Amino acid sequence: MAKPERLAVIGNGMAGVACVEQVLRHQRKFQITIFGDETHVNYNRILLSSVLAGERNVDEITINDWDWYRSNGIELRAGVRVVGIDSQAKALTGDDGSVTEFDKLIIATGSSPFVPPIDGVDKDGVFTFRNLDDTRGLLERSRPGAKAVVIGGGLLGLEAARGLQVQGCDVSVVHLADWLMERQLDAAGGRYLAHKMENLGVRVLCGANTARLRGNGRVEGVELRDGRVLDADLVVVAAGIRPNAAIGKTAGLEVRRGIVVDDFLRTSHPDIFAVGECVEHRGQLFGLVAPLIEQGKVLAATLAGAETAAFEASVPAAKLKIMGVDVFSAGDVRDDQEGVECVRYEDPALGIYKKLVLRDNRLQGVVLVGDAADSRRYADWLKTGEDLSAQRRSLLFPEPLGDGGLDVAQMPNAETVCGCNGVSKGDIIEAIHAKGVNTLAQLKECTRAATGCGSCTGLCESLLKAVAPEFEEESKKVLCGCVPFSQEQLREIIRTQRLKSVQEVLDVYGNGFGCQTCKPALSYLVDVIWCGDHAEDRSARFINDRVHANIQNDGTFSVVPRMRGGVTSPAELRKIADVAEKYQVRMVKVTGSQRLDLLGVKKEDLPKIWAELGMPSGQAYTKGVRMVKTCVGTDFCRFGTQNSIDTGIELERRLENLYTPHKFKMAVVGCPRNCAEATVKDVGLIGQEGSWQVVVGGAAGKGVRKADLLITVETTPQALEAAELFFQYYRENANYLERSYDFVERLGMEKVRKETVYAPEGKQQALLERLRKSKERSYDAWLERDRPSDPTQFVQIQPLEQPMPQEATA
């Protein structure tokens, strides 16, 4: 058997390795060596910004780990830089002095950041943003309050800005052109984007020309041509990229701006090929991932001798998520030329901007900012160049439902769905068939599709809908018109964009105002997602959660102190009686929750009453942990089999003071006679001889629902832990105002069990850890009597000036 041909690849980046992956799929086998000047395995460069933003660690952006190289028999020469190519002898020289012969060679050296010749650009603290080392350097330098200036308002610059801002830096973007991303956007689109970024706290200076960088050795400031000076502890230069084409010259290849290739990625030497950002094809350079993957496929086929269709650069199109804002741009977006028509849609409140540029009723260019849901349709129109006369009335409105399936069906299996993680339609279909994937969440876990920028989420859902037998559509219902996203999407937005206050979410993703529907819901979401480490904004909470009492129909309030497990004492009862008399409460009422309610209290009296009671808040006014009802259990009852009182009190202590999607009521009973009605509670513990049944999702309200069995366990600590697991899972996954009984019906008990008590150990520990974190930051709300959230939280303001009686009557 003949020895396989030797294939050398210079460059261990996305384009080179994606091409090698394709080469491996062909019959013709090579002995492959990859040279990479970074010491890391191949990683997803697109996701560097998420490493900078702290959303992912380095391992999570690895595309191919060492095992992949090994199992495919690929030699990876990491950290070796190729310094020369001898195209006659067909050999490479490395900077380690090694000489490697090849039969075929792929040059995939990518590109380097372009650093303009600005005075002072060599100072310490000046970075580019291109690879892992840059990212690590930036992470080391960034700290809360540090002043960061990003030079360049293109895609990379904006991603760097966002990452630094999430690290707590005070960020300014200095951009030479008159608007951001001037190649992809028009002036108005650029303004919309700039506005969103400023809402996020990033300063944007357009039309700003950098004169020099100040500082003595270490950078201290950026001086602009107009004389303005920005303080800077660190500077990122993101002024564009240049192909790494110099290596091509050492081989005597034709090099213009990039290494010149033909439609089959062949250079001017018959055994040398080039792919990726280092190439120039028909005068065009490349910077986005999709055409690079396409090039890799064509080149792999060329190498295998299975010549396929020529590489044809499609209309330049970019679909991006910049600082959480969807941006899509394709074709020629200039609208100031003869013979073009422009169709526009703007919603300044929601920050949505759409523009279509038409010529002779055919789409020539498109810009979408803030909503890129229809980008595929526009990309198709651009590609086909179809006459749009018939659609002229609905160009900017979504396609009628029903066509989605057709669209996905027509997509070839090899086409990439998720560009960030390189997942094709075929991969997704395989996951659905072979691994029983039915939901978007499962698909993400299994294939990593839609876990990058998320712009392919809709497409993934369409595929699931078309192919998965039991696809469960995740709720499409938007929270409200002020912030038109589903709660599922909002959770993701808050988490990935690191939004810590209600107002930030409203400013960036909503109309900036909010209302009584979305504000309390967002308050809940930021609290639970950040485990209480969020920026609490009382103005976004319902009045009950500002004064920690339940507003009554006459504007007075009710006071329900916590009586854990429904157990009280003569001393407590005496204090309650004293307070009730002293403040002349209108009624003292035994509640349905084994506690006492003092009704008809004035707001100003609340802190005094709490102090005199000396009891903690019973949270009877909020969507939070209400109570644990108990029976007397083994302490007194002749039928009792478990210690329900102590267990109930412990359960209440573990969960009290936490917010929940809706009110959360529990009960613990010592025997199956169920005297405290545990079977109709959100969580119930039912004692029996030698074990506990933990039941969830019970209801005795508008409807009656018997709780479902979560698990039966032997010991009390196990029962408490099972309750905690369910409690935290419900907190994290239910929609705001969704009671546990609706939640378990929506998800099904099988899933609930799999995600809680039968979840892998690591997942359980993570749930309990987040619960512990939230609990650590929680406190008895009634302690605000001594530390009010604002000086007039409970105080009746006395005006500085009263009209004089004579003036008033004059």
CB nearer another protein, residue 57 or residue 539: 539
Other CB atoms within a 10 A radius of the CB of residue 769 amount to 12
Closest approach, Cβ 476 to another protein, in A, equals 24
CB nearer another protein, residue 138 or residue 482: 482
Q: Is the Cβ–Cβ distance between 699 and 689 less than 8 Å?
A: no
User: 706 φ, ψ to 5°?
Assistant: -75, 135
The C-alpha atoms of residue 600 and residue 621 are separated, in whole angstroms, by 14
DSSP state of 151: E
Closest approach, Cβ 490 to another protein, in A, equals 18
Closest approach, Cβ 128 to another protein, in A, equals 39
CB nearer another protein, residue 207 or residue 481: 481
Closest approach, Cβ 515 to another protein, in A, equals 4
Can you read off the two tokens belonging to residue 760?
């892998």
Sign of CA dihedral 163, 164, 166, 171: negative
The C-alpha atoms of residue 154 and residue 800 are separated, in whole angstroms, by 53
Three-state SS at 331: strand
Three-state SS at 558: strand
CB nearer another protein, residue 410 or residue 809: 809
Three-state SS at 365: strand
User: 217 φ, ψ to 5°?
Assistant: 80, -55
User: 6 φ, ψ to 5°?
Assistant: -95, 125
Strands of 215-276, DSSP E: 221-224, 229-231, 234-237, 241-243, 259-261, 272-274
CB nearer another protein, residue 68 or residue 542: 542
Strands of 610-663, DSSP E: 625-630
Other CB atoms within a 10 A radius of the CB of residue 762 amount to 8
Closest approach, Cβ 560 to another protein, in A, equals 18
Closest approach, Cβ 510 to another protein, in A, equals 11
Closest approach, Cβ 803 to another protein, in A, equals 5
CB nearer another protein, residue 303 or residue 482: 482
Contact residues for 641 (Cβ-Cβ < 8 A; gap 6+): 634, 670, 671, 687, 688, 689, 690
The C-alpha atoms of residue 14 and residue 619 are separated, in whole angstroms, by 54
The C-alpha atoms of residue 808 and residue 805 are separated, in whole angstroms, by 5
CB nearer another protein, residue 265 or residue 547: 547
Closest approach, Cβ 792 to another protein, in A, equals 5
Closest approach, Cβ 550 to another protein, in A, equals 11
Contact residues toward another protein (CB under 8 A) are: 482, 511-516, 519-520, 537-540, 542-543, 546-547, 551, 553-555, 790-792, 796-803, 805, 807-810
CB nearer another protein, residue 4 or residue 481: 481
Which amino acid, one-letter code, is at 47?
L
Closest approach, Cβ 621 to another protein, in A, equals 12
The C-alpha atoms of residue 189 and residue 327 are separated, in whole angstroms, by 9
Q: Is the Cβ–Cβ distance between 236 and 151 less than 8 Å?
A: yes
The C-alpha atoms of residue 161 and residue 52 are separated, in whole angstroms, by 10
The C-alpha atoms of residue 805 and residue 809 are separated, in whole angstroms, by 6
Contact residues for 565 (Cβ-Cβ < 8 A; gap 6+): 594, 628, 629, 630, 645, 646, 648, 649, 652, 668
CB nearer another protein, residue 448 or residue 663: 663
CB nearer another protein, residue 526 or residue 671: 526
Closest approach, Cβ 551 to another protein, in A, equals 6
CB nearer another protein, residue 50 or residue 511: 511
Can you read off the two tokens belonging to residue 588?
């003292």
Closest approach, Cβ 169 to another protein, in A, equals 25
Can you read off the two tokens belonging to residue 32?
């492959």
The C-alpha atoms of residue 676 and residue 693 are separated, in whole angstroms, by 14
CB nearer another protein, residue 216 or residue 792: 792
